[in-house]
Chain A
Amino acid sequence: MSTQKRREMQVAALENGTAIDHIPPDRLFKVASLLGLEQMNNTITIGNNFKSNKMGLKGVIKVSDKFFEEDVINRIALIAPNVILNIIRDFEVVEKKKVTLPDEITALVKCNNPKCITNNEPMATHFDVIDKAKGTLRCRYCERKINKEDIVIK
């Protein structure tokens, strides 16, 4: 079998749906949980540690008959900024999307300041993305900044 063929066979082809590619292997399950895959009844294929020319190893998630909303997709940017989404219809990739950080992030990230109101009151957190390139967030309430490496997902 040719290498090309063997690679293709590793993951089942999608007829319609979304293939999420180039997920860093250590972020795969976080991405899965951000997308809420465990609550879905769609056919889902999850693969990890595939060889990648771009990044050494990568994870892949394929979800049949599912096209995610923009804001759901952009949540992924927080933990895996270089992920690519392939929108597939009738076995063809009809669109490739790069994830980008949104301007605001609501009810997803935990504020790292224990004295922030959001950690002491049943309420949603709200962050402004103040530097998209660096991935720096600022809490709308206590105004504390969070660097990308310190981001904790709720």
Chain B
Amino acid sequence: MKSNSLVSIDQCTEEDIIRILDNAALFEANPNRKLLEGKVAATLFFEPSTRTRLSFETAINRLSGRVIGFQDASTTSSSKGETLKDTILMVSNYADLIIMRHYLEGAARYASEVTNVPIINAGDGANQHPSQTLLDLYSIRKTQGKLTDLTITMVGDLKYGRTVHSLIVGMSHFNPTFHFVAPDELRMPDEQKNFCDKHGIAYYEHSMFTEEIINESDILYMTRVQRERFTDLEEYERVKNVYILRKNMLDNSRDNLRILHPLPRVNEIAYNVDDNPKAYYIQQARNGLFTREAIICEVLGITVKG
């Protein structure tokens, strides 16, 4: 990686991605390693995100590091009007690594510019969340045995979903084929489609979520269609039940198909799908732990041995 911070998936080359995933596999084989002994990591959550924070803090603990931080900015000086810069510089006096989630877009990049302590972006508003993308890539590689030449179907809110946008960037090194399934109001934006064109990536757009599309897919990446994203609520009522994955839709799907979801899910995957062996979203979240252990070692320049 160009810098010692992980701010955005764009900064990762193909080699970076492969190295991080290879290390994540080593952590899956043995998650408890004393690689962070004597080190302090700060988890600064200016916006609450229990799942992401617990995953990072578990990763630090399993690496024998210690954790300081906060999970809600209302208890910190930023609620008194302290600038982000001051908070970051203050914490830089104490910690060897800063993992931050912020509601403002670009916050992590700015933080990485004001301090020499490595920053890991754990989400900056609607912008980037690179550890999510890397754990998605890890889950894809683990379930498919490879990252190359896969057909990935993305379903739901493709307009605002940052996870799907980042996944396109992350997969762009590996010759994927995409199916984008979304209501008209939440279609994949031109920017991402232009990106695919530029990188010679094949994609197909659909407004109906059908079995035919599922049957062609290796990965089904579901996302939540949120009511508040619609300007036209009648349109929401029309489409809200169209982008739901039901058990019988999987009847003729490929054996290697796996269903991913960044979670939390609401109703877009019927609960009886959970028992199908193709449902992978809970294990996907578990993979987040190993991927984050690998990311932490990556930004700190720690070599992981087999």
Contacts and interface: CB of A to CB of B under 8 A. Distances in A.
A116 B85 contact: no
B110 A143 contact: no
A69 interface: no
Interface residues of A, number: 16
Interface residues of B, number: 18
Contact of A120 (B104, B109, B126, B191): B104
B12 to A, nearest CB: 15
A133 B119 CA distance: 35
A141 B110 CA distance: 7
A142 B106 contact: yes
Contact of A143 (B83, B84, B103, B105): B105
A63 B25 CA distance: 66
B125 interface: yes
Contact of B106 (A122, A143, A145): A143
B189 to A, nearest CB: 10
B289 interface: no
A103 to B, nearest CB: 17
Given A120-B104, A141-B110, A143-B106, A115 B85 contact: no
B58 interface: no
Given A113-B105, A144-B105, A123 B85 contact: yes
B85 A143 contact: no
B127 interface: yes
A141 B191 contact: no
Contacts of A120: 104
A115 B110 contact: no
Contacts of B125: 115, 142
A140 B191 contact: no
Given A113-B105, A117-B109, 5 more contacts: A121-B83, A121-B104, A139-B106, A140-B109, A143-B8
Interface of B: 8, 83-85, 102-107, 109-110, 124-128, 191
